[in-house]
Amino acid sequence: MDSLLTLSAGEYSTVEIVLRLAVALTFMASLLLVLSSACVARSRRFPLILSSVALGGAAWFENGVWQSWQQAFELAGNSYAVTGQLLAPQDRIIAWSLGVPTVLFCFGLALLPGSKNRGVFVQLGVTLLLLALAAPLSHIAALVLLAYAAALLLVGLSRHAPEAGFVLEARLSVGIIVAGALFTSWAFWHPLQWGGGVSGELVRGEIIHSAIDILSLVVPAILLLIVTFRLLNRSGSSE
């Protein structure tokens, strides 16, 4: 047993709580978006509904990450020993590839006038679709496509957004997502040395990656909802 990877009960429980939190917050954001769509004008509903569906799928795969953590360890006395089951990092990547591209596209739907930006929408949509397909396969391709999609969205907002005061949330979301993707890719190529042995690195790595998932999926979704209601209030006050 000494040769096997073991975690203390506290380490195991801490990671499990963070994983459960990622599942719960992603699902709650999805539910909040779809319920809020009933409170906005029909023309503003589609971005909320589309992002809600994507986050619902992301929550499903985040749940797979949590389930794989439970299956990877079993209680052995006062600690948890590895069972030989593999963790499921691919579920985390698929959750990201479902939620992030969709939310970014929905920011474009919410803030860019479609009749004037059809070319931008086509480029943005194709790029984000390719990003969703490439993310599970290649870190490099995902970074390149994410950078291009972010540039398309930000340039489109700076040039054509009719509500210039409402694009801060979109820019903040892009910044959070890009920063998280850069950190994740850097850690993939240069594994972080946290100290505390293999168990310490595993625990801290899972916590940090789950925190990045929450920031990349949940925070942009909430910012999208804020933008939608601000636009709704603006249009209501103008009438």
Neighbouring CB atoms inside 10 A of 146's CB total 24
Rounded Cα distance, 129 and 158, in Å: 23
Q: Can you give the residue ranges of every domain in the chain?
A: 6-238
Task: Read off the amino acid at residue 238.
Answer: S
Rounded Cα distance, 190 and 196, in Å: 17
Helices (H), 112-167: 118-134, 139-160
User: In CATH, what class is 6-238?
Assistant: mainly alpha
Token pair 């694009």 in the structure block, residue: 167
Max Cα-Cα span within the chain: 72
Q: Is 65 helix (H, G, I), strand (E, B) or coil?
A: helix
- State if pTM tops 0.85: yes
Task: Read off the amino acid at residue 88.
Answer: A
Neighbouring CB atoms inside 10 A of 38's CB total 9
CB-based contact 190:210 (threshold 8 Å)? no
82-130, pLDDT tens digit by residue?
887 778 789 999 999 999 999 999 998 888 766 566 777 889 999 999 9
In 14-78, where do the E strands start and end? Answer: 73-76
Q: Which DSSP state fits 162?
A: S
37-80, pLDDT tens digit by residue?
988 888 789 999 999 999 999 999 999 999 999 998 888 888 88
